[in-house]
Structures are given as structure tokens and as C-alpha cells.
Amino acid sequence: MRRIERVALAQETGNALRLLQEEVDAQRGQTVFDPGEHWKGKRTSRPILAVYASLKLMAGARERCMYCVDSAGSDIEHFWPKSPHCDRMYVWENLDFDPVTGNINARYLLTTEAYSPKGETTVKVLHLDRREGISAGYRKTYKRLCQLVTDWTDRQLPVEYLERLRETDDHGLLGWFLHGSGQNEPAFSRFRERHQEAWAVCQQSFC
């Protein structure tokens, strides 16, 4: 699963989601309540379309899937499934951008802020994470980011440098470069020494 920056929803959209969740909470005790049908009926409503637009923005210019990072995202997915967890159906933090694909990754659990142990074991046993297309995409993004900051090392930074970094990072690697061991990569190490103030801004922007 790629690392993403969750954007803030417009107040109108956030309020609309809360009203939809209240509607679900009032109905879910009824035996005839069907979470899937409720979601299907609201899928093309204005607030859900606004959510979809926000998720596409979070996915980046190439709109890559949040799970496999290789195919294009195409729909809204719930971290916590609708049927057993209808109390989270319209909660912004429970919504993600999902592909129509056979790629499988461990689910990220909001309650523990970690990947599902069962899911990780399944991925490992079945080698679901060994996909050449995905690893090739990561390598390409790695090289593009390194080249970008190398080009800036001995030059004045462009005004839109944060936007350029965000557009280049198709696979969510900036968190690793700025906060993890990626800081020691030669290109980013030189960038940090040359542009210390910009480095601090980047760390705050891509936490």
C-alpha cells in the first residue's frame, strides 16, 4: 500500500457525509437494512462524487491505486467493509481509492495503525507482492525523484518545488526519502545540505 496525504474535505461535503452516516446509524438496527444497497443508492450523489474527486486528487496525476500502486484507481473502497462496519460507511478516514485488479496487499488497519498480520502472512505465503511491474514502477519513481533534486542541488529552487515533488512521486516514496533511511541517499543528502530551509518545509509537507 502506498503512503498518501489525506486532504481535507470541503465543509459542505463533510457535513453531508455526517448526515448520511446519521441516516445509516438510524436504520442499521432494522432487519431489512442493506448497507450495500444504501451505498449503491448514494454512490452518484453530490457528496459522494465530491469524495471521489478528493480521492482522485490524493492519488496523484497518474491516479495510481492505493493498494497495488501499479494500476489505475477506479472506484471508492472502504478500509472497514460496509456490511459488518456500517457505522463507518460514510466516515472520510474509512474511504480509499480502489482499482479493478487482481493485485492483493495486506489491509491497513486504522485501529492499530499497522498492516493486518493475517493479510501480510497471506501476501508473503502466496508471493502476491512479487510483481515485476510494481517494482519497476518504484524504481522509475526513485530515479525520477533523485534526478529532480539533483537538478536543484546547485540551483535556485523553483517556486513550485513542492508541487513538482508531489507530481513526480507516483509511488509515495517521499516519506521514506525525507523521514526514513532514504535521507542518506546521495541525491537527497546533498539537497538537504544545500537547501536546509526547503528541506524542513518538505519534511512538514510530506510527513
pLDDT in tens, 74-85: 566 666 677 777
Which one is predicted more confidently, 7 or 134? 7
At residue 48, does pLDDT exceed 80? yes
At residue 1, does pLDDT exceed 60? no
Residues in contact with 147: Cβ distance below 8 Å, sequence separation at least 6, in sequence order: 187
Number of residues that make up the chain: 207
Cβ–Cβ under 8 Å, residues 74 and 100: yes
What pLDDT, on the 0 to 100 scale, is given for residue 134?
A: 62
Which strand (E) or helix (H) includes residue 8?
A: none
27-31, 66-70, 191-195: the lowest-pLDDT one = 66-70
What pLDDT, on the 0 to 100 scale, is given for residue 142?
A: 87
What pLDDT, on the 0 to 100 scale, is given for residue 99?
A: 37
What are the backbone angles phi and psi of residue 76, rounded to the nearest 5°?
-95, 130
At position 92, the amino acid (one-letter code) is W
Q: Which long-range contacts link 171-178 to residues 24+ away (Cβ below 8 Å)?
A: 171/2, 171/64, 171/69, 171/137, 171/138, 171/141, 172/2, 172/3, 172/4, 172/69, 173/138, 173/141, 173/142, 173/145, 174/145, 174/202, 174/206, 175/3, 175/206, 175/207, 177/145, 178/202, 178/203, 178/206
Tell me how far apart the alpha carbons of residues 27 and 42 are, in angstroms, rounded to a whole number.
15
At residue 159, does pLDDT exceed 60? yes
Tell me how far apart the alpha carbons of residues 165 and 149 are, in angstroms, rounded to a whole number.
9
Confidence band of 47 (pLDDT split at 50, 70, 90): confident
Grid coordinates given for 111:
485501529
